[in-house]
Structure 1
Amino acid sequence: MTGEDEPLETEEVEEARVAFRSQPHPIPADARVTYKLAQIALVLNVFNKQSASIENLHLFTWSLQNRRRGQMLLSWWAGNRLANTITKRSDPHLQVALNVGLIRGMVKISGPNNHRVTLAPQGILFARQIESDDELMAAEKTFLRQFRRLSDASVARHLTRSV
């Protein structure tokens, strides 16, 4: 080449080989919209009136992502670890799932600044279907049952009492 962009010779183009190979890149379960919608349904189902602030929904879906996070939340809840280490925990995949849930009629967004998420009838049905199968999302259900019935007020009380 002379420094200027020169077109490739026809012979070079004809001899060029392009090969495609399948290289699967699995999507982690917590990034899959269907799984995230199931988490949302389970979390909201343990809150009074199947409704929670977006911050609490983030916190609880974040805590379901792995055992360590779940143990951290349980420790804060029990007052064994300072809750001021919590600041805000967020689930990066939650917003996409909420948008899909909203479009599918599974959740409703309400409240000042649209910060409250509530299960719609479709979401309540979905949560009941998950709850009815003991093997489906067993670890998540077992974890959430440790908190009994939740409310935004109970979360605030438990997580701010040790500050």
Structure 2
Amino acid sequence: MISDFLGTDDELANARIHFRSQPRPIPADARVAYKLAQVAIVLHSFNRSTASIENLHLFTWALQSRRTRQMLLSWWSGSRFASTITQRSDPHLPVALNVGLIRGMVQISGASHNRVSLQPLGIQFAQDIELNDDLMSTEKAFLRQFNKLSDAAVARRLARIS
């Protein structure tokens, strides 16, 4: 017993401990369901619903805020230099990709496991999001500005070597 260890006269042995539930909301961008929806609409914007993991990180990172969306748009248009682009990553993406892989929504391929493709279930999910105007309207409007994306187009626009 703890009182034997601390001694009966010890203040800690007689202390009362109370636990209180204190809700701590999880930010939307850290929620797996939201992140999977982001992955689906980003990949659906790419040619053949497939992108490099680097580009998937970049575009899901860009969806985080108005500021990050503006940064990517300015890099894309050439009005700002994109030398730091390789440092942009989404810390919540790996968890969402693992869940998507388990659920059969995405497939990871390539010699270095660096390509992510939407599978039929993921394509259906992306199409359902696209058809509902109330879902992810800001994210969808942002992605529409890029037309049909490809890894090569991203590399050309952002002056990256693929």
**TM-score under structure 2 normalisation?**
0.90
Indicate if the aligned counterparts of 2:29 and 2:35 stay in contact, CA closer than 8 A. yes
> How many equivalent residue pairs?
157
Alignment match, 1:80: 79
Give how far 1:13 is off: 8.2
Which whole-Å deviations, capped at 9, do the CAs of 1:53-106 have from their partners, x for residues lacking one? 000000000000011011000000000001223233110000010000000000
Alignment match, 1:96: 95
Unpaired runs of 5+ residues, structure 1, are none
How far apart are the structure 2 equivalents of 1:159 and 1:19? 55
Alignment match, 2:7: 8
Change beyond 3 A, Cα 1:21–1:113: same
Give how far 1:135 is off: 0.9
Cα RMSD after superposing both structures: 2.0
Alignment match, 2:138: 139
**Aligned: 1:25 with 2:21:** no
Alignment match, 1:157: 156
Unpaired runs of 5+ residues, structure 2, are none
Give how far 1:12 is off: 7.2
How far apart are the structure 2 equivalents of 1:141 and 1:8? 64
**TM-score under structure 1 normalisation?**
0.90
Alignment match, 1:54: 53
How far apart are the structure 1 equivalents of 2:44 and 2:7? 62
How far apart are the structure 1 equivalents of 2:53 and 2:146? 18
How far apart are the structure 2 equivalents of 1:157 and 1:14? 67
Amino acid at match of 2:34: Y
Alignment match, 1:37: 36
Give how far 1:7 is off: 3.5
The alignment partner of 2:64 has SS state of: coil
Indicate if the aligned counterparts of 1:58 and 1:90 stay in contact, CA closer than 8 A. yes
The alignment partner of 1:109 has SS state of: strand
How many percent identity over aligned positions? 67
